[in-house]
């Protein structure tokens, strides 16, 4: 049988390049706590993302959890969000003792349906947490307009949207804050890692302390913080990977174009359209099987039989997780469009070095 193809594969620099980058850590014995690699990566990212306030974290989830905490919302407040996402988005809200209120998504681009947000706003609503799912940019103008009208904060889960730009503006710069994930499976990785990009310098200071036990100075602890610092080996990986990112994205683009050339226009197969004004990062390749000769589950099983591991990102919806059974706002039936998509979507393998022949093999199996 042909070699196994997984849904993605981590981008890595040459071993020599990474060794050169971490050599200084051996010389200095300084391994973590905002060392030289941490400072370099932060500066590189502020430049790359065109954002003056980047706070690095050991992973994207804690970055999201902490930025929500840093906003200091009253316990029990409501946060409007989408269930068509990874567990992390909803968990970050609930772990802050806030109530997620699930808004349905658009059938075309799978991001939060801005026409349905206002009906969900109550006197308890404090924020909107939309997701640029698969790197698809939400309707950021409309979201901001709603937030401004109702005095709400907007915190983007931009885990998938690193390097994406909309009308020339980096995804780092929408709303009050944006969280990026630098997990091994992402377009840009620091092994594990993440960052928050912020507008308000006061929140930057809070987050800097929060990720380091709330320590503000040698003799001052101002928050009951945790430990969520990015270490020097993670930062060094990021420094190296960032040098090659634009090439990696260009390669991903070719692969996506190849997939599109094979699958576009096939009856019962829906692809996401290129968004107007968006410079994409080609993070995922979601395909919706809607009225196709095979169901999504049948396609997934057939690919697996052929050693190709596609994934059902994002099934099940977070509002149908067992851990939220007690939550009054839970229930996939309350977000029917998201539920429909979650039952039909499959993300196909995509990474910079995926050979064109592999794309053909995958498409041949799907179309067989």
Question: What residue ranges in the chain does DSSP mark as E strands?
Answer: 54-57, 78-81, 99-102, 125-129, 153-157, 165-166, 169-170, 177-181, 194-198, 215-217, 220-221, 269-271, 278-279, 285-289, 345-348
Q: How far apart are CA 140 and CA 173, in angstroms?
A: 10
Among 66, 77, 82, 88, binds ligand T4K (CB under 6 A): 88
- Does residue number 211 form part of the binding site for ligand T4K (CB under 6 A)? no
Among 5, 7, 101, 137, binds ligand T4K (CB under 6 A): 7
- Does residue number 90 form part of the binding site for ligand T4K (CB under 6 A)? no
Q: Which is nearer to ligand T4K, 35 or 193 (CB)?
A: 193
Q: How far apart are CA 299 and CA 289, in angstroms?
A: 9
- Does residue number 65 form part of the binding site for ligand T4K (CB under 6 A)? no
- Does residue number 312 form part of the binding site for ligand T4K (CB under 6 A)? no
Among 94, 121, 169, 184, binds ligand T4K (CB under 6 A): 184
Q: In this chain, which stretch among 53-61, 164-172, 258-266, 300-308 interacts with ligand T4K, using CB under 6 A? A: 53-61
- Does residue number 227 form part of the binding site for ligand T4K (CB under 6 A)? no
- Does residue number 285 form part of the binding site for ligand T4K (CB under 6 A)? no
- Does residue number 159 form part of the binding site for ligand T4K (CB under 6 A)? yes
- Does residue number 157 form part of the binding site for ligand T4K (CB under 6 A)? yes
Q: In this chain, which stretch among 17-25, 32-40, 81-89, 336-344 interacts with ligand T4K, using CB under 6 A? A: 81-89
Q: How far apart are CA 282 and CA 164, in angstroms?
A: 9
> In the numeric block, which tokens belong to residue 323?
């851990």
> In the numeric block, which tokens belong to residue 335?
């977000």
Place of tokens 């090439």: 247
Q: How far apart are CA 363 and CA 262, in angstroms?
A: 7
Q: Which is nearer to ligand T4K, 113 or 292 (CB)?
A: 113
- Does residue number 229 form part of the binding site for ligand T4K (CB under 6 A)? no
Give Cβ neighbours of residue 205 (< 8 Å, ≥ 6 apart).
none
Provide, rounded to whole angstroms, the least separation between the CB of residue 180 and ligand T4K.
8
DSSP SS3 for 272: coil
What is the enclosing helix (H) or strand (E) of 212?
A: none
Q: Which residues bind ligand T4K (CB under 6 A)?
A: 6-10, 59-61, 85-86, 88-89, 131, 157, 159-160, 181, 183-185, 194, 309, 313
């Amino acid at each position: 049988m042909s070699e196994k193809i997984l849904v993605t594969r981590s981008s890595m620099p040459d071993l020599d390049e990474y060794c050169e980058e971490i050599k200084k850590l051996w010389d200095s014995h300084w391994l973590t706590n905002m060392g030289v690699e941490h400072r370099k990566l932060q500066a590189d990212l502020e430049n790359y993302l065109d954002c003056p306030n980047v706070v690095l974290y050991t992973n994207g989830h804690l970055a999201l959890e902490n930025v929500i905490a840093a906003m200091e919302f009253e316990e029990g407040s409501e946060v409007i969000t989408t269930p068509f996402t990874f567990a992390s988005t909803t968990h970050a809200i609930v772990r802050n003792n806030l109530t997620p209120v699930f808004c349905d998504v658009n059938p075309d681009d799978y991001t939060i349906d801005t026409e349905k947000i206002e009906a969900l706003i109550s006197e308890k609503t404090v924020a909107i947490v939309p997701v640029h799912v698969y790197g698809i940019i939400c309707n950021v103008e409309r979201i901001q307009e709603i937030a401004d009208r109702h005095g709400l904060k907007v915190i983007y889960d931009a885990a998938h949207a690193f390097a994406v730009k909309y009308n020339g503006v980096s995804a780092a710069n929408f709303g009050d804050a944006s969280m990026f994930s630098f997990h091994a499976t992402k377009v840009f990785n620091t092994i594990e890692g993440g960052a928050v990009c912020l507008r308000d310098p006061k929140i930057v200071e809070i987050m800097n302390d929060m990720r380091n036990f709330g320590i503000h100075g040698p003799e001052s602890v101002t928050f009951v913080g945790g430990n969520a610092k990015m270490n020097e080996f993670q930062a060094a990986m990021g420094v190296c990977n960032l040098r090659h990112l634009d090439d990696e994205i260009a390669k991903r683009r070719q692969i996506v174009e190849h997939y599109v050339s094979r699958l576009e226009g096939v009856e019962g197969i829906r692809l996401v359209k290129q968004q107007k004004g968006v410079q994409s990062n080609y993070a995922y390749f979601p395909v919706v099987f809607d009225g196709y000769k095979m169901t999504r589950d049948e396609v997934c099983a057939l690919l697996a039989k052929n050693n190709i591991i596609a994934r059902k990102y994002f099934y099940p919806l977070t509002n149908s997780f067992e851990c939220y059974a007690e939550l009054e706002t839970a229930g996939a039936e309350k977000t029917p469009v998201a539920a429909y998509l979650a039952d039909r979507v499959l993300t196909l393998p995509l990474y910079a070095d995926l050979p064109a022949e592999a794309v053909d093999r995958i498409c041949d199996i799907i179309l067989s």
